[in-house]
Structure 1
């Protein structure tokens, strides 16, 4: 059975080992809220809520290939976002979703960002788009 948990900051290196083993982009920092899904005690999925200039950005969502299409990402993101917002009511969680995953994020309650992105987030998105990444800014309130 899978369990979802928020990792204590001291355990951040464990998620970075997971990302490295999976050849996934990004690295967790101690100031990130790092969420993982474990199968027994093994990390099989991870995501981070990263503070960016007073805002929160969902990044680094990754599920090990053998656990995909089993609801793991859905459970991970829902748990992370719902728990975060229950502790931080009124905050907005942003994400930059790959275009082909927009329907997935919409089903989880994210919306296409029709409002102005905060400047630091807009700058990051612009940089990623300049790298030919097919991303869409989305948010969850």
Structure 2
């Protein structure tokens, strides 16, 4: 199999030749000096990152595509009709996605514009992790949030990642009940998560 890939190099660009190597082929590098296994993997990711990434908000009719993506990315999230869903693509492939969900306070009608949002199910395909895709995607998502207040429940080791996008840590006792209640349920399940918020921007008069 690997020999056939080498014979095809004259007809394929370096990007597509590297992407054609299947995962079992990396086993050839086991037992080699330190760094030998990393070289082809690094080249694989670098060539993928050369492809143009585009960003968009999906219409609800396309939400099943994101649910399929979440399965590929091993993310448990599932889109709801009330979500705003944003994706990053390389060509036609979804490589990252996130859900922005409305948070309705007690007594607030679901038909009204929510004062708070909750960022959920941020995921990047494994092949694109640690390439900067996640940070660039978050830069785009933040621009879509605009002046709106947005909360999230990141894992504790991702605090710095979210701080780069303008989110700040909030102690549970200072979070509103609509945010604190679900957080406490997740903590009882053993999840090592935090509460963070990107504050609403108040326009000057």
> Normalising by structure 1, what TM-score?
0.91
Q: Which residue is equivalent to 1:119? A: 177
* Residue of 27, 35, 46 corresponding to 2:78: 27
SS in 2 for 1:74: helix
| Structure 2 residue 134 is the aligned partner of structure 1 residue 134 | no
Matched, 1:79 2:140: yes
Question: Alignment length, in residue pairs?
Answer: 137
Larger radius of gyration: 2
Structure 2: which 5+ runs fail to align? 1-51, 105-113, 200-205
Counterpart of 1:60?
Answer: 121
**Per-residue deviation, 1:78:** 1.8
- 1:92-127: CA deviation from partner (whole Å, max 9, x where unpaired): 110111001101111221111147222121111011
Contact 1:35 1:76 in 2 (8 A): no
Contact kept, 8 Å, 1:81 with 1:93, in 2: the verdict is no
Highest relative contact order (Cα 8 Å, sep 6+), 1 or 2?
1
Instruction: Supply the RMSD in Å over aligned alpha carbons.
Output: 1.3
Counterpart for residue 11 of structure 1: 62
User: For residues 152 and 59 of structure 2, what CA distance do their matches in structure 1 show?
Assistant: 22
Q: Secondary structure at the match of 1:57?
A: strand
Task: Tell me how far 1:75 sits from its aligned partner.
Answer: 1.6
SS in 2 for 1:134: coil
Which of the two has greater helix per residue?
A: 2
Give SS of 1:46's match.
strand
What does residue 51 of structure 1 align with?
102
Structure 1 position 38 matched with structure 2 position 89: yes
- Find the residue that maps to 2:78 and give its secondary structure: coil
**Following the alignment from structure 1 to structure 2, what is the Cα–Cα distance between the partners of residues 127 and 121?**
11
